[in-house]
Amino acid sequence: MNKKKISLFFLTVLLLLTTPVLPVRAEEDSEDEDVTMAPYFLVVSEDTTVDCFPLKETNVTTNITGTIAETYVTQTYKNEGDSPISASYLFPASTKVSVHGMTMQVGSNIVTAQIKEKEEAKQEFEEAKSEGKSASLLEQKRANVFNMDVANIMPGDTVIIKLHYTELISPEEGTYQFVFPTVVGPRYSDPKDQTDKDANGWVETPYMESGSTITGKYSITVNLSTGVPITNLSSKSHDIDIAWNNNASAKITLSNPADYAGNRDFILDYKLTGNQVESGLVLSEGENENFFMLTIQPPERFTPEDIPPREYIFVLDVSGSMNGYPMDTAKVLIKDLVSSLKETDKFNLILFSGSSKQLSPKSLTATRENIKEAIDLIDEQEGYGGTSLSPALESAINIPADKNTARSIVVITDGYISGEQNVFDLISQNLGTTSFFSFGIGSSVNRYLVDGIAYAGAGESFVVTDAEDASETAERFRTYIQSPILTDINVTYEGFDVYDVEPAALPTLFAQKPIVLFGKYKGDAEGTITVSGKTGNKDYSQKIAVSDIKSLTDNDAVSYLWARTRVERLMDYGYSKDNPEVKDEVTQLGLDYSMMTPYTSFIAVIDTVRNPEGKSADVDQPNPLPLGVSNLAVGGGYRAYSEPADIILLLSMICILLTSMIYHHRKKQIKKCVS
């Protein structure tokens, strides 16, 4: 091929790569049930009468008192178009949060939402929508992913939705961390995964391109009151202003409201003077039930003299969503993890995207040569394709094990998949002598997956937001795995009539964080609670006299935290999910405690017909891509051409290229004939 042809070829390729045509979702009425759903880039409609961005503002206010955080989220929708719309919006929350309150306001009409069984709430919403009534429906898609539907927003309408969350803030290694997720990262739905029938309903959601100008406002305010002097108050995710009321109370706001805050997790860290977490008992006396929350400070870490040989299998995500900054951060982390292995250790490496690649059929001794080979392989990765974690995890589990070596499987990912249950089931079926640890990489990771891997795998989870944290986090991992705080934990009660204690069993305690128990009790708060276990090779025991500990009353938050912890054990990480008895119990918990669950939803309806014709345009509010995540995260990095003009342009370019090649070929033949 001569220079002209080469130039024309590369020019055409360049045009193909830079043409701004974007993937769009598959039609809902497609006859092909095997079509893989995936996130898509928003293509703005030419119909200017329809407002494609109805969510105008999100305001978050969190009040942290002691260790309990009460969060109020206000979402303001406004229809600035000329025709009625019904909007749908996907948003995240903490994996530990209990959502137990919702109101809707349209004009002067304010309605308190009711909790109902999921199907009943959905039916009531659809009926209200078809009748032309304004309504809102809040559904749980995952423990940390929720979907808001708002029907019949009339031109000029402002609709205000207020949500109420409760969660517990527990310290780790003396540091308290409050995390408020602001955006749901794009999820990859594996077409082979048939276990999650609900996934396609929310995985297929619109996103804006990386670098797009984001409309709307996002504000965050935290009112922190600890009762103990606060130190080291900071945020590594956002620039913040701190207004101190006194040394134990402060108001935290965003420094620059113009800097969009809703494209990465809001992370607030702080410590308390003395770095000590005191044991404490909180009581909540109700008309029908009494609840307690017990916090127990664990012992100091015991460092064993002899650390047994270990095997580490690293499972590294190299998919499209990891391209760029997340991949660079993951490389720093895993290089640090691999480079610090001892020669008595063994290791292996599995890289996964749509498929997976394994360093070696069997784990290798951690020699310099083997470590260099692994690092060279890691350095080659850039991040492309889908995210198929389950097959890679299966490969890791199936690597032949050495009976004399303690095995740990370490998953490093942003967690942008929808098939979490498959992963949890796989882990719970293969615990045995293997423990599972997870590292979430990025500014807005799927903490449900990252935390769930550790929960199901009797390990620990970590989140690394930037490369600067990688070395410190790797060191913490090594400390945790080599010297757990407390093992074989058991809790007994004497003279304190308790029942329905959550969690029912406590796993190995790797991190320096308190043991927190929720439960119900009958009669007076008296007697003793004994916590026992092993620290290293020594026995450990701690007794708490219930009557001697200062208690609080009339604290409704404890009942929500108990209910959320029970649902978590029953549902969140795949245990007994298909059991009808579990479904009935979780549904009843949601109804009894007015709380979101997979089987209960909030529904609010204004009983006035505002849109007599009952017709409205359905609008999916687009999410921004999480900070640092590239466009390759949407659609697995593959380009798709859908609009007629896009297809015509693509075919035209191909024709130009083929015509040029034929012309030059014929010209060359003519020259030969002439000569």
Over range 251-262, report the average pLDDT: 94
Residue-wise pLDDT tens digits, 626-641: 999 989 888 644 433 3
Half-sphere exposure of 280 (CA within 13 A, CB side): 11
Looking at this protein, which amino acid is placed at residue 328?
D
- Give residue 410's pLDDT: 96
Which two three-digit tokens encode residue 220? 């965050």
Residue-wise pLDDT tens digits, 132-141: 999 999 999 9
3-class SS of residue 451: helix
Residue-wise pLDDT tens digits, 344-385: 899 999 999 988 999 999 999 999 999 999 999 999 998 888
Backbone angles phi and psi of 351, in degrees to 5? -105, 135
- Give residue 30's pLDDT: 37
CB 146 within 8 A of CB 99: yes
Which two three-digit tokens encode residue 427? 């882990």
Spatial separation of the C-alpha atoms in residues 656 and 652, rounded to whole Å: 6
Whether residue 667 has pLDDT greater than 70: no
List CB contacts of 492: < 8 A, sequence separation 6 or more.
Answer: 529, 530, 532
CA dist 309 → 341, 425, 652 (Å): 10, 28, 62
Q: What percent of the chain has pLDDT over 70?
A: 83
Length reported for the chain: 675
Spatial separation of the C-alpha atoms in residues 98 and 560, rounded to whole Å: 6
The runs of H, that is alpha helices, within 78-162 are 118-131
Find, among 289, 320, 344, the residue nearest to 500 by Cα.
289
Whether residue 643 has pLDDT greater than 50: no
Preceding omega of 503 cis (within 30 degrees of 0)? yes
CA dist 607 → 103, 118, 135, 156, 443 (Å): 14, 20, 9, 19, 42
Q: What percent of the chain has pLDDT over 90?
A: 62
**Pairwise pLDDT comparison (304 vs 216), residue with the higher score:** 216
Name the strands in the sheet holding 538-545, side by side, starting at the edge strand that comes first in the sequence.
487-494, 528-535, 538-545
Spatial separation of the C-alpha atoms in residues 264 and 255, rounded to whole Å: 16
Do the strands 406-413 and 434-441 form a parallel or antiparallel pair, or are they unpaired? parallel
Which two three-digit tokens encode residue 72? 């109020």
- Give residue 19's pLDDT: 41
Whether residue 313 has pLDDT greater than 90: yes
- Give residue 14's pLDDT: 45
DSSP string, 456-522: HTTS-EEEE-SGGGHHHHHHHHHHHHHS-SBEEEEEEEES--EEEEESSS---B-SS--EEEEEEE-
Which two three-digit tokens encode residue 201? 């309903």
- Give residue 650's pLDDT: 53
Whether residue 24 has pLDDT greater than 70: no
Whether residue 15 has pLDDT greater than 80: no
CB 414 within 8 A of CB 442: yes
- Give residue 467's pLDDT: 87
Compute the mean pLDDT over every residue in the chain, rounded to the nearest whole number. 86
Whether residue 179 has pLDDT greater than 90: yes
Strands (E), 323-466: 346-352, 356-358, 364-365, 406-413, 434-441, 461-464
CB 331 within 8 A of CB 548: no
3-class SS of residue 130: helix
Residue-wise pLDDT tens digits, 384-415: 888 899 999 999 999 998 877 889 999 999 99
- Give residue 277's pLDDT: 59
Whether residue 1 has pLDDT greater than 60: no
Spatial separation of the C-alpha atoms in residues 544 and 130, rounded to whole Å: 58
Find, among 483, 319, 503, the residue nearest to 412 by Cα.
319
Find, among 190, 556, 216, 569, the residue nearest to 388 by Cα.
190
Whether residue 563 has pLDDT greater than 90: yes
Find, among 80, 16, 65, 72, the residue nearest to 619 by Cα.
80
Burial class (CB in 10 A: 0-12, 13-18, 19+), 197: exposed
In the numeric block, the tokens 């890791």 are attached to 396
